[in-house]
Amino acid sequence: MSSQSSPAPEKLSWQDHLAKLQQIVANTQKKYTGPPVPLTSSNPPTPPSIGRPQHARISPPPPTDPSSIVEWPPALRHVRRLERQNVSLQESVRSLIREHRAHEENWWHERSKLSTQAELKVYDMKVYAAQVAMRTHMAGKLGEMGIPFFGEIAEKNVRDCNTGAGSITAETRLLDLQRKMLDYLESAYGEDDDEEGN
| Residues 62-119 pLDDT 10s | 567 889 999 999 999 999 999 888 888 989 999 999 998 999 999 999 999 998 999 9
- What is the structure's pLDDT at 170? 84
Q: Which DSSP string corresponds to 40-65? A: -SSSPPPPPPSS-PPPPP-PPPPPP-
Instruction: Report how far Cα 170 is from the mean position of its chain's Cα atoms.
Output: 25
Q: Which long-range CB contacts under 8 A does 142-145 form with residues at least 24 apart? A: 142/93, 142/96, 142/181, 143/66, 143/67, 145/82, 145/86, 145/89, 145/92, 145/93
The one-letter code for the residue type at 131 is Q
Burial per residue of 146-178, b for 16 or more beta-carbon CB atoms within 10 angstroms, e otherwise: bbbbbbeebbebbbeebeeeeeeebeebbeebb
| Residues 27-49 pLDDT 10s | 655 555 555 555 444 555 555 55
Alpha helices in 89-166 (DSSP H): 89-112, 117-144, 152-161
Residue 196: which pLDDT band, with cuts at 50, 70 and 90? very low
HEC sequence for 8-26: CCCCCCHHHHHHHHHHHHH
pTM given for the model: 0.61
Residue 159 has pLDDT above 90, yes or no: no
- What is the structure's pLDDT at 144? 92
The one-letter code for the residue type at 42 is S
